[in-house]
Amino acid sequence: MEALVGSGDRKGGDARPLLAVAPAGLTRSVLTRLLGRLPDPDWAGADAPAFALGQPGPLAGSALGAPGAGGHADVLWLSPAVWAQVQARIVGALERHHARAPDEPGLNSARLQRMAFPAQSAFGAALPGWSSWLQKLVADGAITRSGQWLHLPGHSVSLSDHESAMAAQLMPLLLAGGNDPPWVRDLAKAIGAREDTVRELLRKQARLGALYQVVKDLFYPAERIAELAATFAGLSAASLAAAEAQGEPSEPTPTSAPDRLPPFGLSLSKPPPKAALRTSRLPPGAVEARAFRDAVQLGRKRAIQILEFFDRVGYTRRVGDAHLPRPNTRWGAEGPETEDAGPRP
């Protein structure tokens, strides 16, 4: 590293040799320490993208020059080769998911990160610059966002006028069902339509982000799922508070990224096995199916179906017979959201 810094011009600020051998990119704070001053805004060249940490979207021009510009604390540069690897991993994860689950609308941000970067995601927090990477890929047309779902451009859907009219009939029925909406067969009977027609329409609406498919032929409006997620979060908070009041330690699950993230190259260590995260007691913050069942006033089977749906979309994870919120994850306007990791030192 010292040799590379020495090979560049510390006064002139040519640190491009460093970027070429940095498998996880370089931040402005690191470059400032290595060069003894702030790097020039265009030091990396036009083909090396820069991303704000803690703020979505790529950066350009004078916004790169000083700390705090535009409200971000640091900037991450990736070499063209590393950025190509990042794109390939994200697009490849979506391709595999679409091939395996063609009826599903796509992946939310948190689950896509875990599939594209399993080793780095084992620490719970979003990768530095993750939301900015996604925004750039969407802007470049490499991937598409439909509500909370990220997918390949060819996987998108739209409703015809007839389908829109039918959807307008179905949504009030789904909302009126509260925490127990009608099944596809009941919806079809209510509006006098074929079951397969209603099923396909509801799947399209799920791809558009208006509905969530909890199990086959059972769809929930997005706002109803948000309410159920809030109920789960409240139960989890109460469980955590009760454990703290009794002096119980929190579950030793890592909740932040290490000081040095693994590189984005193809040689990655495996994440810790799920079995290693299980303990003999109920972890603080965990919610059992019976507690959730009572809170939402549903039967045990339906409560478990909803909890398993939360596991599947990346909002929670199962620990023994209970479910625990994923670290640094909350239910936002577009589904599960993982907070970005802070700038790397």
Same domain, 123 and 101: yes
134 inside domain:
yes
Nearest to 227 by CA among 133, 292, 305: 292
Mean pLDDT value across residues 127-153: 88
Same domain, 151 and 206: no
313 inside domain:
no
Burial class (CB in 10 A: 0-12, 13-18, 19+), 154: exposed
111 inside domain:
yes
Task: Collect contacts of 90-98 with beta carbons under 8 A, ≥24 apart.
Answer: 90/116, 90/133, 90/134, 90/137, 90/142, 90/143, 91/137, 91/142, 91/143, 91/152, 92/116, 94/143, 94/150, 94/151, 94/152, 94/155, 95/152, 98/151, 98/152, 98/155
Same domain, 55 and 23: yes
Same domain, 149 and 174: no
CATH of the domain at 89: 1.10.10.10
Q: How many folded domains does the chain comprise? A: 3
Same domain, 6 and 73: yes
The residue among 213, 237, 253 that closes a domain is 213
Tell me, what's the pLDDT at 69?
43
Q: For the chain, first and last CA: distance in Å?
A: 16
Residue 18 has pLDDT above 80, yes or no: no
pLDDT digits (tens, 9 = 90+) for 5-14: 444 444 444 5
Q: What's the farthest any 2 CA atoms get from each other in the chain?
A: 76
Q: How confident is the model at residue 259 (pLDDT cuts 50, 70, 90)?
A: very low
Is the pTM above the cut of 0.85?
no
- Helical H segments across the chain, by residue range: 2-7, 16-20, 28-35, 80-100, 109-116, 130-140, 161-176, 184-191, 195-207, 222-245, 289-296, 300-313
**CA–CA separation, 340 and 345 (whole Å):** 15
User: Which of these ranges, 64-73, 207-216, 219-228, 289-298, has the smallest mean pLDDT?
Assistant: 64-73
198 inside domain:
yes
Question: Which residues form the domain of 94?
Answer: 81-155
**CA–CA separation, 226 and 211 (whole Å):** 11
Same domain, 116 and 50: no
pLDDT digits (tens, 9 = 90+) for 270-299: 554 544 444 447 789 999 999 999 999 999
**CA–CA separation, 253 and 34 (whole Å):** 34
